[in-house]
Chains A and B, each alone.
Chain A
Amino acid sequence: MTANKEKRRVISRDAARRRRQVESEVFVDLSRLLPFQQSVQDHLDKPSVIRLTLSYIRMHTLLKGKTGIKVEASHAVKCGQVMESGQEWRGCDRGRDDEEKKTDNVEASEETNMFLRILEGFLMVLSTEGDMIYLSDNVSKYMGLTQTELMGHNIFEYTHPCDHEEIRNNLRLTAEEVWCGAKRDFIMRIKGALTHRGRSSNLKSATWKVLHCQGRAKVCVAPSSVSCLLLTCQPLPLSHTLLSTHTFTSQHSMDMRFTYCDQRMTLLLGYSTEELLGRSIYDLCHILDTNCLTKNHLNLCFKSQSVSGQYRMLVRGGGYVWVESHSAVIPSVRPSKSRPGAHQPLCILCVTYVLSGVEEPSLQLSLDQAVHRYLR
């Protein structure tokens, strides 16, 4: 009796082994079809193979289908390409020979490469559920993790939990937004596995990296309606080469009151440094821009870096200028040998670019612009 049992067990084990072998072979076949170099293909585990296959198929579906978006269609017509129904976007080049296609491809590749390098960011295609369907291969430079490691995963696995709500809000696309190619602009923190020398480390020693994401929605109608976000993600650098006279730096305490500003501020806006110390930036800006500044401030409090978008700063004596600020929270370096355990005070560093000339110079809107300064 036990011999039979034993036999059956052996048979079932062999069958299982054969099944597993067949399955492994199919996985290998599938991995060979993926557009990666062989060395990469060999090291993919099973879930990764499926993830990447999914990405491949999804990207094809996204690009193949009709878009029906007016902006895209008119642009295509402008460029001399006609979008025919059912045609791939790039399928309209029949009649051109392989050589031509090759040259075009080379040009396109060089331009795209250069574009991405200069932009200093990577491209991310996000599904409405947050799956990173596609990432350009330079993502490894910014996140330390390769395209194959990340593609297909969900963005919520890699971003800071506090930012999830904001990301979800950005992913929510109404039908109207999708059809108009609605734009998105937000900041998020993502895990970065880079050492401070720029080498890749592993996910376990990952740190939070702040990324500025900008882009728009894209939809593909046929065969099934698929909408997603196309985003470029850029880290926010701090040091800049400032040759421009139309830029100034300022330092603020965490509540956005000035603690320092350079002399260009005086040249551009008329306020002296002494006047500004202790004043809140909210006092200096147009009232309708309060929201913009608040969002910027919140980004700084939570994420430590921010890009403000355009807002108006009031000029001493009247009028205002449009500006944009790029800011970061930094610990102000102070030798604290006497108190080694002392907490390092934080401050906000802003680099503000002046975008326009002084508009409405005769208009005095706020108290700070008045010649006789109001002392509270």
Chain B
Amino acid sequence: MSAGGSDGTADRPADLAAEGECPEQAGSSLPAVEVPRKRKGDVEERSGTHGQHSVDFQKDDDRSRSEGEDQQVKMKCFREPHRQIEKRRRDKMNTLIDELAAMIPACQPMARKLDKLTVLRKAVQHLKALKAGTGSAFTDTTFKPSILSHDDLKHLLLRAVDGFLLVVSCDRAKILFISESVSKILNLSRLELTGQSLFDFIHPKDINKVKEQLSSSEYPRQCLIDAATGVQVQVDAPARPPLLSTGARRSFFCRLKHSRVAGKQDKHFLPCTSKKKDTSRYCTLHCTGYMRSCPSSQLDSEGDSEMESSDLSCLVTVCRLLTPMSHQPPKELTIRPSEFVTRWAIDGKFTFVEQQATTVIGYLPQEVLGTSCYEYFHQDDLLHLADKHRQVLRSKEKIETRCYKFKTKYGSYVSLQSQWFSFTNPWTKEVEFIVSSNQVISRGPGHTKDEEAGNSKALQEDTKQIPIIPSLSSGLGTMIYAGSIGTQIANELMDSYRMNSSPSSRACSPFGPTQEKCPQVSPQTSTSASSREEASGSSSQSQCDSRTAAGTSSATSESLAAVSRININPIQGEPSQLDLDLVPGLSSFSSDEAAMAVIMSLLETDVNMGQSEDFEDLHWPF
């Protein structure tokens, strides 16, 4: 019996379990000495058919040894994996039993550990008690038995989703059904809303959008995105889609009014504010769902006699409140009133200036955009800031500058201190821009002309490092060469990228390391006209191709073989960090195979969603 139980194959644990055999017996009860004798026959029978890797490896080695040693080694190979399998099973079972004991109140006060059978018996008693407590209504045979009662599931679902179910008619956007949970989100009761027009509650600017989504005219022009090519395809839908199809899916965002006080609508306050702008508060919701025709006999038709015989078209959606935490300002930037944030290109030219900057520097953003930050730095600070500039381009950390002076519009200087950090594109891992968070340091004594004269001496000392354009006057020359500092530093960086550019520095992709050889993805961030042309040239080419491919894409998807399995590869380091340098060689699959796998899974998702969705069997809850 024990030999039968100890199959030795690792991949059929279910069989062993189903047999109900207690496999501990195989290894433990019999003395080790006996096993080789018992299994000798087995080994010779099975050695030809055994699939275990360890045995195969061993077999190759064994051929060179003597027969006696041969057998002993083979014994070990058989026993080791088997023992390990059994041990794992026993451990797993023991862990489960322990967990079970921990959950059962009756088992807990025991001082010593309870044996398996007792725990199981107590579990049976406990379940019986639980079932008695819940009441028999929910275990009615008409209902499918389930772990949670529907109430409980509903409760959990609503905790997880800040949302509600909404059914609106397509012609007038009448709210046919809205679930109770709407009260939690909009502070308006279900009763107030049912039967009303949805447009009364939508933000005025979103009304057209929602109207579009609800329109399901006989021949709607639908814009679908072909999943295979990502290109929009205009499709004239059939007169009446029989079941739900991807064409009937709707997904949009809209803003709905919500009341501040539960149960009261703001319209009580309207008389005084009717002339003022609508100050209702709105919250943004993501609505996803399907167009559906619902038999009007089940609806609360209020005297719409012409609707009685025909089916009404409606939209059934789940409206979900957007997670506010999905937008969080970056932790590196703490914005206070006397602070502002700016962004520069790697050569120091401003590309983004926050509006608050104006209160500090006097310039409007558009006056400063495109100019180099060095034009505003005081001469004294040029060296130190240039140094920090170089540093930040090469570091992944925040660089803090010392206090420095920034020229305002009015000619005076304001003392600032900044934190800079460079933003690296996660894919190319090249620096794209620098973000600067600037704080005002309370001003010390104002500058005098003497000081400025003194500064020009310091300037001359700097000339060793920075070339001056000699033909221009010192004033203008200062500005020009200041700008060129930034450009020079940027060029240094670009040179280092060109020199170091190698496939190993590419980021990983979901598909494998082979992607970096793709000609379309330009590894350089240089925006020279030629590379841009190349990019636009090749992209328009792919556009043409993808349009022609659009027609055949459905055919190809059908003919594709089953999805290939994507390898699991251990990847070092945290993906959440922006440091992808540590990624070793990835999947050994060619990118084609893996890429196809991804596209198949995307198509799967689309096909499965709404494909066999027929709501015929669902009772409309109204």
Contact = CB atoms under 8 A, between A and B. Distances in A.
B425 A366 contact: no
A367 B549 contact: no
B405 interface: no
B165 A111 contact: yes
A117 to B, nearest CB: 7
A18 to B, nearest CB: 11
B299 interface: no
A86 interface: no
Interface string A276-302: 011010110011111110100110011
B601 A302 contact: no
Which of B96, B153, B511, B542 neighbours the largest number of chain A CB atoms within 10 Å of its CB?
A: B153
A36 B353 CA distance: 62
B140 interface: yes
Given A231-B160, A297-B427, A241 B578 contact: no
Interface string B529-544: 0011001100100110
Interface stretch (B119-127, B266-274, B461-469): B119-127
A254 B427 contact: yes
B352 A57 contact: no
Interface in A352-368: 353, 355-357, 360, 363-368
Contacts of A70: none
B151 interface: yes
Nearest to B548: A335
Contact of B230 (A13, A16, A134, A347): A347
Given A59-B147, A165-B574, A344 B618 contact: no
A215 interface: yes
B231 to A, nearest CB: 8
A125 B157 CA distance: 10
Given A57-B126, A241-B249, A335 B545 contact: yes
Contacts of B349: 374
Given A287-B435, A309-B326, A334 B224 contact: no
- Give chain B's interface secondary structure class: mixed
B563 A196 contact: yes
B205 A57 contact: no
A165 to B, nearest CB: 5
Contacts of B14: 45
A271 to B, nearest CB: 14
A8 to B, nearest CB: 11
- Give chain A's interface secondary structure class: mixed
B527 A278 contact: yes
Contacts of B157: 112, 115-116, 123, 232
Nearest to B229: A333
B323 A161 contact: no
Nearest to A182: B325
A3 to B, nearest CB: 18
Given A102-B140, A215-B160, A302 B510 contact: yes
B403 interface: no
B341 interface: yes
Interface string B112-135: 000011001101101110110001
Contacts of A181: 159
A72 B160 CA distance: 12
Interface string A131-155: 0001011000110000000010000
B497 interface: no
Contacts of A198: 604, 607-608, 611-612
A101 B510 CA distance: 50
B179 interface: yes
A257 B432 CA distance: 11
Interface in A1-23: 12-13, 16, 19-20, 22-23
A346 B509 contact: yes
Contact of B354 (A142, A162, A215, A365): A365
B609 A120 contact: yes
A58 B120 CA distance: 16
B130 to A, nearest CB: 6
A175 interface: no
Given A36-B145, A112-B157, A331 B595 contact: yes
A201 to B, nearest CB: 8
Contacts of A163: 575
Interface string B224-267: 11111110100000000000001111111101000000100000
Contact of A246 (B209, B532, B602): B209
B535 A253 contact: yes
Nearest to A207: B563
Contacts of B365: 363-366
A73 interface: no
A242 B237 CA distance: 13
B93 to A, nearest CB: 6
Contact of B351 (A137, A291, A367): A367
Contact of A105 (B138, B318, B517): B138
Interface string B543-580: 10110010001000100101111101111001110101
A118 B427 contact: no
B539 A277 contact: yes
B71 interface: no
13 contacts: A47-B92, A101-B137, A163-B575, A196-B563, A196-B607, A237-B249, A243-B213, A255-B521, A259-B535, A333-B549, A333-B553, A346-B521, A367-B370
Given A123-B160, A309-B327, 12 more contacts: A53-B127, A63-B152, A161-B571, A183-B323, A259-B536, A260-B539, A288-B330, A291-B328, A301-B507, A355-B284, A356-B255, A366-B351
